[in-house]
Amino acid sequence: MEQQAKDFISRRGALALLGAAAVVRNAGAAEQAVMQPISLDHVNIRVADSTKTAQFYMGLFDTPVLRNPSLRAQPNSPPGEGYFLKFGDGYLVISPAFTEMPGLDHYSLGLRDYVKATLEAKLKDNGTPALARSGGDVWLGDLDGGLMQLRQPGGWARQTATPYQPPPRVGPALSPLSISRIGIKSADLARAGDFYRRLFGAEMASAASSGSRAFSVGDSVVQLVAAPGRGLDHIRIAIKDFTVEAATRVLRERGIAASAAARTVRITDPDGMRVELAAAG
């Protein structure tokens, strides 16, 4: 009996040590991360016709909209008509594609304790130097040609665009809570995942079994998806009081084709980009 008690204590001690080691590893990953993203500030998609695509989204979502007649998606982009749709604390930006193909222009992360010079120095030391861009934000390219804009949180509050009144809606609209996930295509998932882990720290272990790698960004997720091509795989928008039946009904009333899978509803926007509608969390 005494030996059994000793064995139990030994096993318990070993488990405690393993748990402590895991905590240390996770803490170490957080400390070694180049940055600490705490929000998905916005996602900028470039489209063939910004007004047409904006009207598609405005007709579907009941949310504040801003418009900028001379938006530059990036500091070196030409100006064009852009729209901003508020999704919780973040927002979707719709800007002209000009000579490029429609798709993901960039996504923006809000960072804790953001200081541009400090972040640029850390990125350089990590072997991932920032791109040369003007302004107060840091721009960084990933291994698959994607582009991140790194900045202080709260980008919506700093917008200088003017409020825009959408056309009258027909029927009920969906109430967006956030852009809860952005999926990015990756040609080499292992290499891309390691790149992001060095930047963000610990990753979400649950994603590995689904053939992807994912990183928590505040209440949102940046997910790398093994897929051919490059750029955006999908955007997931969290909807208030979401049910598959209610979302499908709204889409059907607007003549928008949809499919349901795993408690999400999937649609395609006018430029062929995949959008998922789901509950929060």
Confidence grade of residue 2 (pLDDT, cut at 50, 70, 90):
very low
pLDDT at 206: 66
Gap between the Cα atoms of 151 and 29, Å rounded? 21
Which CATH number is 176-278 given? Answer: 3.10.180.10
Residue 37's DSSP bridge partners are: 111
Which tops the pLDDT comparison, 1 or 239?
A: 239
- Residue 266: which residues within 8 A CB-CB, separation 6 or more? 234, 258, 259, 260, 274, 275, 276, 277
**CB count in 10 Å sphere of residue 142:** 17
Q: Do domains 37-163 and 176-278 have the same CATH topology?
A: yes
Interval 32-61 mean pLDDT: 96
pLDDT at 169: 86
What are the angstrom distances between the C-alpha of 126 and each of 25, 119, 189?
19, 10, 20
| Token pair in block for residue 57 | 């989204």
Confidence grade of residue 228 (pLDDT, cut at 50, 70, 90):
confident
Please give the mean pLDDT across all residues of the chain: 89
Q: What's this model's pTM, rounded to 2 decimal places?
A: 0.87
Q: What letter represents residue 195's amino acid?
A: F
Task: Reply yes or no on whether the pLDDT at 14 is more than 80.
Answer: no
Task: Tell me which architecture the domain covering 37-163 has in CATH.
Answer: Roll (3.10)
| Token pair in block for residue 96 | 């002209």
DSSP secondary structure, 16-63, as one string: HHHHHHHHHHHHHHHHH-S--EEEEEEEEEEES-HHHHHHHHHHHB-S
52-64: pLDDT as tens digits: 999 999 999 999 9
pLDDT at 16: 41
257-273: pLDDT as tens digits: 999 988 999 999 999 99
Confidence grade of residue 125 (pLDDT, cut at 50, 70, 90):
very high
Which residue in 201, 34, 33 sits closest to 122, CA to CA?
34
Domain ranges of the chain: 37-163, 176-278
Gap between the Cα atoms of 73 and 94, Å rounded? 9
Instruction: Among 199-208, 210-219, 220-229, name the one with the lowest average pLDDT.
Output: 199-208
Interval 66-92 mean pLDDT: 97
